[in-house]
Copies of this chain bind each other. A is one copy, B any other.
């Protein structure tokens, strides 16, 4: 009978969602309204006896990346990558000197680059992210991330992810959710590392993209990245990207800027239990404090909308015990 009890215990352990067994799946979250709201939502949608129960197939949660899962200051990581690439490739492209944005990037004149806005950013991306296969591009990204350092924290960018959000991703998955990244960043810039860092497989990454064409190269089939915009997965593009990739309306959305406004609106306007959350960067000491006046991660309309929409606003300074994962 003792053996039998152990076998039953083993069966229970193997079959029960791990989250249910753990005392606290969100140890880096201080007790407070934000943590309580998350737990209460997860509890009611997973409890078969609850009127708000949601089948696992419908438990879809979408996460913005820049500023929601990892640091986006003093600039988007992908912009830092693009600037490094421009400087590296410039000797082979004398024609870039004729382009004001590219020349500014080469000269390190970030003000001119920033002043060119989204269009300038796109020019940088077209120049540096195209002309190779997706596999070759992903290798370039991987190699860069392995050596690039954040200017303030002197750490790899992939170490500057938010520990409380990593716990949240895992907690949701343990409770039967499928977690997607839905980012304005490049889809193929994120895919090489999203599984190792976030536990999110390539197929569950949605992002902006340039066009890709199929062709035979030396008799072998290949995909080639083209210097032509395909889709901007930001703002009103996020619900569109979600619909295209996932084909279902999420029940929970997590963001940090006005670029996430429509994703939050569309997610939480659905019928049944819904959850919206905004990470508010309030911690200049441990990370950064910014919102309405920031060029990156501009948060204004979504912050105003939050109370009326019932969205949870995370005050990074008071809600998060730690910001980054412990050093490995």
Contact = CB atoms under 8 A, between A and B. Distances in A.
A189 B240 CA distance: 17
B212 A240 contact: yes
Interface stretch (A69-77, A142-150, A245-253, A310-318): A245-253
B265 A221 contact: yes
When all copies of this chain in the complex are counted, the total is: 2
A32 to B, nearest CB: 29
Contacts of A220: 269
A236 B209 contact: no
Q: Which of A7, A195, A245 has the most CB of B within 10 A?
A: A7
Interface stretch (A102-110, A119-127, A199-207, A277-285): A199-207
A56 to B, nearest CB: 11
B247 A214 contact: no
B236 A269 contact: no
A93 interface: no
A79 interface: no
A240 B221 contact: no
A157 to B, nearest CB: 20
Contacts of A243: 134, 212, 223
Contact of A7 (B7, B15, B213): B7
A246 B8 CA distance: 38
A240 B220 CA distance: 15
Given A7-B7, A214-B266, A221-B269, 13 more contacts: A3-B4, A4-B4, A7-B11, A14-B15, A188-B247, A202-B248, A203-B247, A212-B240, A214-B240, A215-B236, A221-B262, A223-B243, A230-B244
20 contacts: A1-B3, A1-B4, A7-B7, A57-B195, A57-B201, A134-B243, A178-B203, A187-B244, A191-B247, A203-B204, A203-B245, A203-B246, A212-B243, A213-B236, A213-B240, A214-B237, A215-B236, A221-B262, A223-B240, A245-B245
